[in-house]
Amino acid sequence: MPQTCALSLLAFTGASQFALVGALAGGGNPLTASVGAIFLSMRNAFYGLRLSQLLALPRAMRPLAAHFVIDETTAVSLAQSGRRAVRIGFAVTGISLYLLWNLTTLLGALGAEAIGDTDTWGLDAAGPAVFLALLAPMVRTATERAVAAIAVLLGLGLLSVLPQGVPVLAAALAVPMVLYGVRRKTPGSDADEGKGR
């Protein structure tokens, strides 16, 4: 139980926690499992780049705020207008999720066996479902829909081929693929200029 609670307190990113625990439970090497979990959480670094501009926090606050940079706080922050609303959305979402995440981790560690096989409850789908619910309203343009569709195809298509966590990173290749296609279709692009020569 102390290990379970420490993991939630120190590594506040559910997908990475599940990847780490899943790999270890499957008999994986701890080093390999850790690397996979770290790669999976790398997206938070990209979130942080965007949020650092929106939040514009004092230097002393940044290390603490970095701990709360997750999918949900990013989605809520990006949906706000105005720095004050961004900061409130980030703080309220981050603190409430952190407290609830760690409380439910403790409850789960205390009574996990009482609920039986968690796979039958479909709890493994709860995290991705929440993420999709937060992301869906932000996908508005044809380009954004194309990126989302290709990312899903890449992620699902590579699940059985690549180690756990890597398909999510590979799905990020959807962005340059779509942008390359958009650029080729845009009049006056380098590709079109090359055709005229």
DSSP character string of 95-128 = HHHHHHHHHHHHHHHHHGGGG--GGGGTGGGHHH
Is the same domain home to 78 and 166?
Answer: no
Whether residues 108 and 17 fall in one domain: yes
Pair (41, 103) in one structural domain:
yes
pTM higher than 0.95: no
Q: How far apart are CA 125 and CA 143, in angstroms?
A: 27
The reply to whether 106 falls in a domain is yes
**Residue 134 within any structural domain of the chain:** no
- Torsion from C-alpha of 181, 184, 188, 191, nearest 10 degrees: 150
Is there a single domain that holds both residue 145 and residue 104?
no
pLDDT in tens, 77-122: 999 999 999 999 999 999 999 999 999 989 888 877 676 666 676 6
pLDDT of residue 119: 66
21 and 84 fall within a common domain: yes
The yes-or-no verdict on residue 10 having pLDDT over 80 is yes
Closest CA to 97 of 75, 125, 68, 124: 68
pLDDT category of residue 37 using cuts at 50, 70 and 90:
confident
Work out the burial of residue 34: count CB atoms within 10 Å of its CB; fewer than 13 is exposed, 13-18 middle, 19 or more buried: middle
Please report whether residue 194 resides in a domain: no
The structure tokens 């298509």 sit at 157
Cβ neighbours, 10 Å, residue 152: 13
Q: Is the pLDDT at 132 greater than 80, yes or no?
A: no
Residues 27 and 64 in one domain: yes
Does residue 30 sit within a domain?
yes
CB atoms within 10 A of CB 13: 19
Question: In angstroms, rounded to a whole number, what is the distance separating the alpha carbons of residues 133 and 141?
Answer: 17
Sorting pLDDT into bands at 50, 70 and 90, what band is 53? very high
Domain count across the chain:
2
Residue 150 placed within a domain: yes
- 148 shares a domain with 72: no
Rounded CA-CA distance 20/142 in Å is 35
Quote the domain boundaries for residue 75. 2-127
